[in-house]
């Protein structure tokens, strides 16, 4: 059970671009039916396109841009998005269960912050790696990375994700060891 993102941003941008073209065409058609001068002249567009050659720079640039935009939209539709729900281990029971990335990240950040000496913690949750960056007011950081790693691994044991990420801890201090 891995839920993926909905890809709402590319779909919204594509829909807005199509809507803008439709509004321009409809406005021009309504203006022509009403006997007014259209906002965008069909004759001017046809004249400009009729005079263009395949070897012109503008044709090549616009064609390349359209192809690149089409490729980006196609890749956005085909490639899987970031998992919004991380699968949890079923331990042979056969149940499908998961936890949201946000809740797992929040729980792991709380576990890192609960270690004595940690003032601030930041956490990056990736597919196979958890990176915790903790800040301390201690002058010496001996044992702190191991304590944070142990707290994170203990919390990961409680969560029991289907694929266990490796834990990496970075410690920064606000004091100098002199």
Could you report the per-residue pLDDT of 38-83, keeping only the tens digit for each?
A: 888 888 888 888 988 989 999 999 999 999 988 988 888 788 777 7
pLDDT of the residue at 176: 66
163 or 68: which leads in pLDDT:
68
Q: Show Cβ contacts of residue 132 under 8 Å, excluding neighbours closer than 6 positions.
A: 108, 109, 112, 121, 122, 123, 124, 148, 152, 167, 168, 169, 170
* Kind plus residue range of the DSSP H or E element containing 134: strand 129-136
Mean pLDDT, rounded, of the chain: 87
Domain spans in the chain, listed from the N-terminal domain onward: 8-78, 85-173
* Domain covering 85-173 assigned CATH 3.30.70.1350 in the classification: yes
pTM metric for this prediction = 0.62
């Amino acid at each position: 059970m891995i839920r993926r993102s909905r890809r709402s941003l590319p779909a919204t941008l594509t829909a807005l671009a199509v809507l803008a073209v439709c509004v321009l065409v409809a406005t021009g058609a309504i203006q022509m039916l009403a006997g007014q001068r259209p906002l965008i002249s069909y004759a001017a567009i046809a004249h400009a396109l009729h005079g263009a050659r395949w070897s012109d720079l503008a044709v090549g640039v616009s064609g390349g841009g359209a192809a690149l935009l089409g490729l980006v939209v196609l890749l956005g539709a085909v490639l899987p998005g970031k998992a919004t729900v991380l699968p949890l281990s079923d331990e042979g029971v056969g149940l499908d269960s998961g936890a949201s990335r946000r809740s797992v990240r929040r729980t792991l950040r709380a576990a890192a912050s609960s270690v004595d000496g940690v003032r601030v913690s930041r956490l990056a949750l990736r597919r196979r790696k958890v990176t915790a960056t903790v800040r301390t007011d201690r002058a010496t950081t001996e044992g702190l990375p191991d304590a944070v790693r142990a707290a994170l691994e203990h919390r990961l044991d409680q969560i029991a994700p289907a694929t266990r990420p490796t834990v990496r801890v970075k410690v920064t201090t606000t004091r100098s060891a002199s």
